[in-house]
Amino acid sequence: MGSIDTPTITENGTTQSHTAAAAADGDQKPLASSNGAPAEMTLELEATKKRRASMLPLEVGTRVMCRWRDGKYHPVKVIERRKVHYGGPNDYEYYVHYTEFNRRLDEWVKLEQLDLDSVETVVDEKVEDKVTSLKMTRHQKRKIDETHVEGHEELDAASLREHEEFTKVKNIATIELGRYEIETWYFSPFPPEYNDSLKLYFCEFCLNFMKRKEQLQRHMRKCDLKHPPGDEIYRSGTLSMFEVDGKKNKVYGQNLCYLAKLFLDHKTLYYDVDLFLFYVLCECDDRGCHMVGYFSKEKHSEESYNLACILTLPPYQRKGYGKFLIAFSYELSKKEGKVGTPERPLSDLGLLSYRGYWTRVLLDILKKHKGNISIKELSDMTAIKAEDILTTLQSLELIQYRKGQHVICADPKVLERHLKAAGRGGLEVDVSKLIWTPYKEQS
């Protein structure tokens, strides 16, 4: 299966940068070619130089081609610009969004990376803004309403735009967590006193964050946690899962949200962590239990969500932990006797992981099952919501509509082919190692 690009991770503090690797000096775009005599050529070069200089600094909203870390030029939109320290009046750096790629690859680039001959006329931001506000989903509206209920001013379309404006540029560039230095993906609304830091240092156990390494070192000498707070509800080999109640461990819950938002684009940060349980997955050794990833779950969900946000920290991604977390969320739903579904919208990586998980679980059952089976029966067996089963099987073309009903048509050879294409199964959840009772409000 192909790979979706993500920023870099470094172990033991040695920084690598894809961008630096790709941006070889000799890679500059040539000036416009000319077939004329040398004198004419000089004139033409002068004219080109002048034309380019007249465009500078580029306006926010400009569309232009930009040299990426693969050494090739890709279309970008200028999101923000800032003056280069000690530069001339037109010396700016530009924060760009590669329109073909996910927002996690947005970055600051130097002018040399931009091909000024490809500059397109500035887009009408007002028109774009209108489209953005129209595109607001019901889900987003609900979240905005919740913010209102929580006592904030109502976010109308203008405030939403202001919010988007405020979050469009990544604030924290890297974090240190345990033995990893990790490049962040998105903006996260850390308290204002952290806004001047490009790097933050996290205690890997209590998730407190600090601006300086020495502060972290001092903290580590005092911090007596060696695992997430809360109850260990699963242990199998070196893998442990902890359940953290946001109401009992408010600061931990908030720290986890700040950290997670650095890698989650579309999620609204809930300050009200009281309403959530956090399931934190750890790899344990003699130094402690090191967080690998987590998912959050509303204590009560009207929409039958069994998972709100899911994250595998970048150093641990693509090793099967994501599918483990997803499988775990469905095991909890089975214990509750409910069906569940993840909160929408799903990110690109979230959708891939869920599709992979649903496909594998459903095909495994269909392969073993003799005779007819309905979507309802599949849903009862797996705790996967019927709609998710239907869309998964439809995308695999295993559903036919006969006499007003959806019928599953599963030819063994087709199943085998789909299973092979569905990728690896992820780490197994050993249900016998799960010791858990569903959440009950304590009076």
| Choice from 56, 206, 346, 373 touching Zn ion (CB under 5 A) | 206
Size of the site for Zn ion (CB under 5 A): 4
Q: Which is nearer to Zn ion, 21 or 220 (CB)?
A: 220
423 binds ligand ACO (CB under 6 A): yes
320 binds ligand ACO (CB under 6 A): yes
Q: Which is nearer to ligand ACO, 65 or 182 (CB)?
A: 182
| Choice from 114, 172, 241, 349 touching ligand ACO (CB under 6 A) | 349
Tokens for 324? 């483990």
Closest-approach residue to ligand ACO (CB): 322
Q: Which is nearer to Zn ion, 114 or 203 (CB)?
A: 203
- With CB under 6 A as the contact rule, which of the stretches 117-125, 127-135, 171-179, 351-359 interacts with ligand ACO? 351-359
**Backbone torsion region of residue 230, taken as left when φ is above 0, otherwise alpha when ψ lies between -120 and 50, otherwise beta:** left
| Choice from 269, 352, 386, 414 touching ligand ACO (CB under 6 A) | 352
Segment 254-283, which members bind ligand ACO (CB under 6 A)? 263-264
- With CB under 5 A as the contact rule, which of the stretches 26-34, 199-207, 318-326, 396-404 interacts with Zn ion? 199-207
d(CA 388, CA 310): 17
Query: Residue 57, SS3?
Result: coil
Per the CB < 8 A criterion, the answer to whether 355 and 322 are in contact is no
Tokens 């684009």 locate to 265
323 binds ligand ACO (CB under 6 A): yes
d(CA 38, CA 20): 35
Vertex 132: Cα angle to 129 and 134 (nearest 5): 110
Q: Which is nearer to ligand ACO, 147 or 184 (CB)?
A: 184
Q: Give residues with Cβ within 8 angstroms of 246, minimum separation 6.
A: 253, 273, 274, 275, 276, 277, 278
Nearest of 120, 156, 165 to residue 136 by alpha carbon: 156
Segment 65-104, which members bind Zn ion (CB under 5 A)? none
Per the CB < 8 A criterion, the answer to whether 285 and 202 are in contact is no
CB 261 to ligand ACO: min, Å: 10
Tokens for 209? 């964050």
Q: Choose the contact partner of 203 out of Zn ion, ligand ACO, none; CB within 5 to 8 A by kind.
A: Zn ion
The catalytically annotated residue of 93, 243, 298, 343 is 343
312 binds ligand ACO (CB under 6 A): yes
Secondary element (H or E) of residue 325: helix 321-336
Tokens 């931990």 locate to 252
**Backbone torsion region of residue 381, taken as left when φ is above 0, otherwise alpha when ψ lies between -120 and 50, otherwise beta:** alpha
11 catalytic per annotation:
no
Q: Which is nearer to ligand ACO, 114 or 313 (CB)?
A: 313
Phi, psi of 240 (to 5 degrees): -130, 150
317 binds ligand ACO (CB under 6 A): yes
203 binds Zn ion (CB under 5 A): yes
Per the CB < 8 A criterion, the answer to whether 338 and 306 are in contact is yes
CB 60 to ligand ACO: min, Å: 27
Binding residues (CB under 6 A) for ligand ACO: these are: 1-4, 6, 263-264, 307, 309-312, 317-323, 342-343, 346-347, 349-350, 352-353, 356, 423-424, 426
Catalytic site residues?
A: 343
